[in-house]
Every structure is written in C-alpha cells, then in structure tokens.
Amino acid sequence: MINQFRTLNPINLLILFAYTFFMRMAIFIDLPPKLNFEFLEPYVKFFVQIPIQNNFSPSVNIFFAAILVYVQALVFNRIVNNHGLLNKPGYLPALLYISSTSLFMPFLVLSPPLICNFLLIWIMDKFLKVGKTPNAIMLMFDIGMIIAIGSLIYFPFIIMLLMLWLSLMLYRSFNWREWVSGLIGFLTIFFFLAVFYYWHDDIRIFYKIWLPLTNKFPSVFELHYKDYLVLLPVLVMMVLAMIQLRENFFRSFISTRKAFQMLFFMFLLAALSFYIKPDFRISHFLMCVPPGAVLLAYYFSNASKRWFYESLFLVFILTIQYFLFV
C-alpha cells in the first residue's frame, strides 16, 4: 500500500476517500447514542450565537468529521509536496494524516481541535515560507491573526504564539518589526473582543479568558496504559523516522533541516498545551497530527526494505482497527 501512495497517481484520491471511511468503520457500526459538538469557546458564544451543538445526529457528525479529515489530508499533502519535505511528491502525507486521525475514538467525531487543524495546516504552510520571503512582517502579522481566530475556536491553540518567535529564530536574523508584527496581528482580533465586552460592561469576563494560562502543569498523570497501546506502532515508526532523519540530516537542504526542526517544536507545543484546557479531552492531541504525520511520511518515503515497511504499516492499521472495535 505504501508503494501505491509514493506516486502522484490520481486514482489514489479515490482510494484515500474510501480509506478515510474504512478507518471509521468501527464507529459507524457501533454509533454512540449522542454526540455534542461545540464550535466556539464559551467566551465567544457570548456574542456569537451558532445553534450547532445538538443539531447533528451521530452518523451525520461522524460523516462530516470524515469529510473534513479527507479535505485536510489533501491540503496537507499539497503543502508538504510544495515545500519539498520528502524525497519526491506523492500521497504519503495524506495517507499518514488520515491514519493518524483515526488512532482514538474521540478523533473520529467533530471537535474544536479538528476544526483548528485547518488553521494549523495553514500556519504550517506560512511558517515554511518564513525563510523564503525577503520581508516577513506581513506574513507574521497574518499568522498572528490566524492564531487568534484559532484561539476563539479552541483556546489551547494560543500556544502557537510561541511558534512565531521560534520560527523567526530558526529562519531569520533578528528584526524587531518581525518579532512584534505577529503579536500585533494576534492582539488585533482580541482588541475587538475586548471592545465588545467593554461596551456591555462585562470587561471582567474578558479578564477571565486568560485565567487558564495560569494553570499549573500537572506533575502527576493518571494513565491507563491499555488505552494507549495503539501508540506502540506509532512510537516504532517515530523512532525509525528519527534515525532516518539523523542519517540524512546534514545531506539535506538547509531549508529542509530547519523545516523539520520547526515541525518538531510545533508537535511539542501542541502536545504540551493540553493543561490549558480545564476540561481536557484526548481529542486535543489531534493538533499533534499534522507535524507528526510529516515525520511518519518522511520515514515511509525513505524506507528501502519493502517487506518491512509494508508489514509495519499493516500492523499499524490492524492495531488501530483492533482497538477501535475492542
């Protein structure tokens, strides 16, 4: 299957579409009785009324989630290919993206992190352009605004603000205008939000928006290891990808090296930002999928022993399906 997606064969689009629903077969067979979907954070719904929470039946909810994942996968695939992060263009990024968004049952339904992945993929594209533009001021301003919009949908998305300065340190020499422009773009969106609360004499509510940022990072984790056994094939593939990346690191273009460093920091920040959300859910880790899927695609793009990488991918898929059904 991996060999099939190493090329840009148009038939792969149809296979990917069928594969997206195949990976959701378990939840379609055993539909949950009810699924709630809240599109915006409570502090935004105060002045934007979108009655969408209980309007979707479980089957419609899962169907639209599958369509969103498929569209995201194609956009993600195009961005990875356009920036030359793999040996040659193909549909491996889309394949690994769809596979990774099927790891856990909460990943298969509509959720704010799933919506935010559109924005995360968008800013990933923009971050990869930072080193290719002569002046990054407007680019950083746009990224700041996108991060602010993402924070209105899912507040932990605000952690991506740190990526503004991490990417600048990786790609560019110091220019204070570039370092400030991203923050100004972010504050532009929240300025209008603050004005709205001020007009309605609810400025205290605006202050409360930022309280989750003061949460302490948990020192004790309650993990049920059986729920995360599905990640074992992922960890194996990640380790193999790291080894492959290390071997090729200094033989790669400088822009490719910096791109993978940037994606590593993005993956790390997306994973660690779970503590910002008081009612944390596992669907949060959907934000780790875009940067993680690039690394997985890199391994399968460079792997040479066909019997091994095809078997490894098959084990990965069978493990996902087993835990979804069981």
Q: Is the Cα dihedral 94, 100, 103, 105 positive or negative?
A: negative
Provide mean pLDDT across the span 200-204.
Answer: 76
Helices (H) and strands (E) in the chain, counts: 14, 0
Give residue 269's pLDDT band: very low, low, confident or very high (50, 70, 90).
very high
Looking at per-residue pLDDT, the higher value among 215 and 125 belongs to 125
Angle separating helix axes 58-82 and 112-129, nearest 10 degrees: 10
Given a cut of 70, whether residue 232 has pLDDT beyond it is yes
Angle separating helix axes 289-302 and 254-272, nearest 10 degrees: 140
CA–CA gap between residue 150 and residue 160 (Å, rounded) = 9
DSSP 232-294: HHHHHHHHHHHHHHHHHGGGS-HHHHHHHHHHHHHHHHHHHGGGG-TT--GGGGGGGHHHHHH
Amino acid at 324: L
Looking at per-residue pLDDT, the higher value among 302 and 118 belongs to 118
Is 153 within 8 Å of 39 (Cβ atoms)? yes
- Cα 249 to chain centroid distance, Å, stands at 24
* CA neighbor of 59 nearest in space, from 22, 28, 98: 28
Amino acid at 299: Y
Give residue 173's pLDDT band: very low, low, confident or very high (50, 70, 90).
confident
Can you read off the two tokens belonging to residue 71?
């569209």
Given a cut of 60, whether residue 91 has pLDDT beyond it is yes
Given a cut of 80, whether residue 221 has pLDDT beyond it is no
The pLDDT value given to residue 48: 60
Given a cut of 60, whether residue 29 has pLDDT beyond it is yes
Provide mean pLDDT across the span 168-175.
Answer: 87
Is 118 within 8 Å of 125 (Cβ atoms)? no
CA–CA gap between residue 151 and residue 183 (Å, rounded) = 14
Give residue 7's pLDDT band: very low, low, confident or very high (50, 70, 90).
confident
Can you read off the two tokens belonging to residue 315?
């084990």
pLDDT digits (tens, 9 = 90+) for 121-146: 999 999 998 888 888 899 999 999 99
Mean pLDDT of the chain: 85
Given a cut of 80, whether residue 311 has pLDDT beyond it is yes
Task: Check residue 215 and report its DSSP letter.
Answer: P
* CA neighbor of 98 nearest in space, from 9, 1, 239: 1
CA–CA gap between residue 193 and residue 294 (Å, rounded) = 35
Q: Which of 96-110, 236-250, 293-307 has the lowest mean pLDDT?
A: 236-250
The pLDDT value given to residue 1: 79
pLDDT digits (tens, 9 = 90+) for 34-88: 777 777 777 776 666 555 455 677 888 899 999 999 999 999 999 999 988 888 8
* CA neighbor of 292 nearest in space, from 251, 249, 231: 231
What are the boundaries of each domain within the chain? Answer: 3-213+224-325
Provide mean pLDDT across the span 152-181.
Answer: 90
Given a cut of 60, whether residue 100 has pLDDT beyond it is yes
Looking at per-residue pLDDT, the higher value among 193 and 255 belongs to 193
Please name the residues in contact with 177: beta carbons below 8 A apart, sequence gap of 6 or more. Answer: 137
The pLDDT value given to residue 131: 81
The pLDDT value given to residue 47: 62
